[in-house]
Amino acid sequence: EPTNKKMRRNRFKWGPASQQILYQAYDRQKNPSKEEREALVEECNRAECLQRGVSPSKAHGLGSNLVTEVRVYNWFANRRKEEAFRQKLAM
């Protein structure tokens, strides 16, 4: 019998390999273009696949941990916001 209890969604979590790629990209460019973000998505998904033992050609096998352009966009936005906040605190 189906239950009416709501299931928790699987939250996205950045893997260490992806974070390293993103921090290196952030050091080079704090506000990447859409093309640069899409290249980062490919790089991050490839790294996550290798780390999790999933074939890179089957990146959709990452499920809820699939890196998307929107997630990369938000990661950079959050990093810029965090950096501005830290600079404001330092004053």
- Euclidean distance between CA atoms 61 and 4, whole angstroms: 28
Asked if 23 and 82 count as a contact pair (C-beta separation under 8 A), the reply is: no
pLDDT at 41: 96
Question: Quick one: tokens of 74?
Answer: 């938000």
> How many CB atoms lie under 10 A from the CB of residue 89?
7
Q: Which CATH architecture has domain 16-90?
A: Orthogonal Bundle (1.10)
- Euclidean distance between CA atoms 46 and 2, whole angstroms: 37
pLDDT digits (tens, 9 = 90+) for 34-56: 999 999 999 999 998 888 888 87
Whole-model pTM: value is: 0.84
> For the chain, which residues make up each domain, given as ranges?
16-90
Give the model's confidence band at 3: pLDDT under 50 very low, under 70 low, under 90 confident, else very high.
low
